[in-house]
Amino acid sequence: MRAVVVVGTQWGDEGKGKVTDYLAEQADMIVRYQGGANAGHTVVFKGQEYKLHLVPSGIFHPGKICVLAGGMVIDPVELCGELDELEKQGHDIAGLRVSYTAHLVLPYHKLLDGAEEVQRGANKIGTTQRGIGPAYVDKYARTGLRIVDLFDEAGLREKLKGLIDAKNRVLECVYGVKPISMNEVMSGLQRAAVRLKPFVCDASRLINEYIDAGRKVLLEGAQGTMLDIDHGTYPYVTASNPTAGGACTGSGIGPTKIKSVVGVVKAYSTRVGDGPLLTELKDETGVFIRERGHEYGATTGRPRRVGWLDLVIVKYASRVNGLTSLALTKLDTLAGLETVKVCIAYKKGSERLSDISFNLGEYGEYEPCYVEMKGWDESITVARSYDELPKEVREYIRLIENVTGTQVSLVSVGRDRGSTFALADVFA
């Protein structure tokens, strides 16, 4: 059976963790294909909240295989910490697999991430400071180290010696940052090598075997379409490809092995970090949505910028990901608002525009064109089927489907695992 991909259609934080958790119940394998500990997936079940940064949320379903694929950049020390925490909470981690070819995020990447942001000053990207950009820079400069390198200590020391010397020169001379020592780096890596050894594998081979055997494989993107290095609001993006194409390169499968692509859409917009957000709400409605939706970064704790739903963005995401359906989340957060607005186009002077601009400078002249709709009440949180949704919500869903030309297959109306229901079977 061909794989299902789950991607974010906006700026990340759409609720992919919750959607993946819901779909993981039916899946045999869950794969993360890009990014690293910049992601933060929140899952709530049995009244408890869990936050994951590297491990796919499928780990909460015993017996599933959860793969950290080769397209990821992994901080091995952080991964060990996450595994320790999961075990402490009583979760079984035997299903974890880590690709030999994933790149390592090392302490100097994090120092560089911080120093480069300071250097950018007013033009900062607002990164999560997890070393993601610098680790991908090394990957493409072909000076990166990979998970496989952890298991050849002599070779690792040799490679690290030259790298640490070079990075320290940049840290000290360019940024005036204290250098790091070989011992600092090596001690963390030696411990991680022992801890991670039972989990490492040829992930591409394993994923292909599962697909070829007719098993259900879910490929989970982190971040979102507008943070994609190629298709997002460059340079205010992450350093990898969260979009569906990245699922192939990141996990080592061919495009012919993908069956469907589910785009996760939050009922409104949020963005953490800098860059354009045309529908941003800087008033009390924005504060209401931020507080009701717990819109604070799962990784950094930063308050997220909040705005009305922008369907120009979701339509664009539908195109660049080849979405086959949408998963709509956090509709409950908007409950209690008298009216809700949805952006369906932009205008620049008297000109009406139905697509995004690649010249970020132009956004200063753009204004959103809104459709204003009647809001809905709290009764939404008890709905467990489309027919139980208030009429206003059904109209909201229909508008999204009409403007984007993509059908909604999943709806989430609350924080808990049980508050998601399907309108269509994405594995069928």
Helix (H) or strand (E) holding 344: strand 339-348
Backbone angles phi, psi at 198, to 5 degrees: -65, -15
Beta pairing partners, 303: 296
Question: Could you count the other beta carbons within 10 Å of the beta carbon of residue 259?
Answer: 17
Select 19 or 337, whichever has its Cβ closest to ligand IMP.
19
Select 303 or 375, whichever has its Cβ closest to ligand IMP.
303
Select 42 or 357, whichever has its Cβ closest to ligand IMP.
42
Task: By CB under 6 A, name the binding residues for ligand IMP.
Answer: 11-13, 38-40, 125-128, 130, 132-133, 222-223, 227, 236, 238-239, 272-273
3-class SS string, 127-195: CCCCCHHHHHHHHHHCCCCEHHHHHCHHHHHHHHHHHHHHHHHHHHHHCCCCCCCHHHHHHHHHHHHHH
**Rg of the chain (C-alpha set):** 21
Residue 289: CB minimum distance to ligand IMP, A: 16
Residue 397: CB minimum distance to ligand IMP, A: 24
Residue 395 corresponds to which tokens in the numbers above? 């109209």
Select 11 or 316, whichever has its Cβ closest to ligand IMP.
11
Q: Which of 13, 21, 113, 138 is catalytic?
A: 13
Beta pairing partners, 5: 219, 261
Select 130 or 415, whichever has its Cβ closest to ligand IMP.
130
Select 7 or 132, whichever has its Cβ closest to ligand IMP.
132
Residue 133: CB minimum distance to ligand IMP, A: 4
Backbone angles phi, psi at 305, to 5 degrees: -70, 145
DSSP state of 230: T
Cα separation, 76 vs 104, in Å, equals 7
Whether residue 416 lies in the annotated active site: no
Residue 388: CB minimum distance to ligand IMP, A: 31
Residue 257: CB minimum distance to ligand IMP, A: 25
Residue 239: CB minimum distance to ligand IMP, A: 6
Contact 40, 298 (CB under 8 A): yes
Using the structure block, give the residue that is written with the tokens 């009390």: 284
Helix (H) or strand (E) holding 289: helix 284-292
User: Alpha carbon of 352 to those of 307, 347, 348, 356: distances in Å?
Assistant: 20, 4, 7, 12
Using the structure block, give the residue that is written with the tokens 């204003």: 372
Q: Which residues are within 8 A (CB) of 364 and not within 5 positions of it... i.e. 6 or more apart?
A: none
Select 165 or 230, whichever has its Cβ closest to ligand IMP.
230
Dihedral of CA atoms 255, 257, 260, 262 in degrees, nearest 10, equals -70
Select 58 or 133, whichever has its Cβ closest to ligand IMP.
133
Contact 39, 300 (CB under 8 A): no
Residue nearest to ligand IMP (CB): 273
Cα separation, 251 vs 191, in Å, equals 26
Whether residue 13 lies in the annotated active site: yes
Q: Which of 21, 28, 41, 332 is catalytic?
A: 41
Q: Which residues are within 8 A (CB) of 289 and not within 5 positions of it... i.e. 6 or more apart?
A: 268, 281, 295, 306, 333, 334
Cα separation, 21 vs 27, in Å, equals 10
Would you name the residues annotated as active-site residues? Answer: 13, 41
